[in-house]
Amino acid sequence: MKKTVLKFGLASGILVCLFMIISFILLADSQYAISEVFGFSGIILSMSLVFFGIREHKIKNLGGSITFKQAFLAGLYMVIICSLMYTIAWLIISYSDPLMVENLMEGYLNPEDLKTPEKIAEMTKIMEEYNNPFYRSLFTLREIFPLGVVLNLIFAAVLTFFPRKKAV
């Protein structure tokens, strides 16, 4: 299982990091929404490798039969590897260009939201927290890990409860 988890977890992590780098290079001057859609599409595409990792584990390591728990745990390990790689890549990119985070926040914020002193104070607090590497890591993990877990639940269910029909 370790070899399969590492192979597909690393492949998924590399793919999501490539999507992140490409989005920063190609979409740096575009609308934030376009960059966000591209980024989440990359996350979903890279997490699809988890499905194939669970499937390979089922076929090669378990003789074609897998329980939901086995499928979920194998997929979860792959999701963890991918999420950690994504977080590390984001930290490297965001700390290499300090203005990037400010530009992203400006693109994300609606000027109407900053009309009240309470909202300004709230956003200032969030930006201060985001400057802390620990909180920045948590914010970044919050983007990818929950989505990976949900997709993993679906993949584990599909591979457990819907076995392939054999050709007649």
Looking at residue 83, what is its pLDDT? 96
Residue 167 clears pLDDT 60, i.e. is over it: no
Residue 133 clears pLDDT 60, i.e. is over it: yes
> CA torsion sign, 93 to 43 to 35 to 28?
positive
pLDDT band at 7; cut points 50, 70, 90 = very high
Q: How many CA atoms lie within 13 A of 34 on its CB side?
A: 9
Q: What is the pTM of this model?
A: 0.83
> What count of residues does the chain have?
168
pLDDT band at 29; cut points 50, 70, 90 = low
Copy the structure tokens of residue 149.
């877990």
**Eight-state DSSP code of residue 136:** H
Mean pLDDT, residues 5-11: 96
CA distance 6 to 22: 24
CA distance 124 to 158: 44
Average pLDDT, the chain: 85
Mean pLDDT, residues 41-66: 92
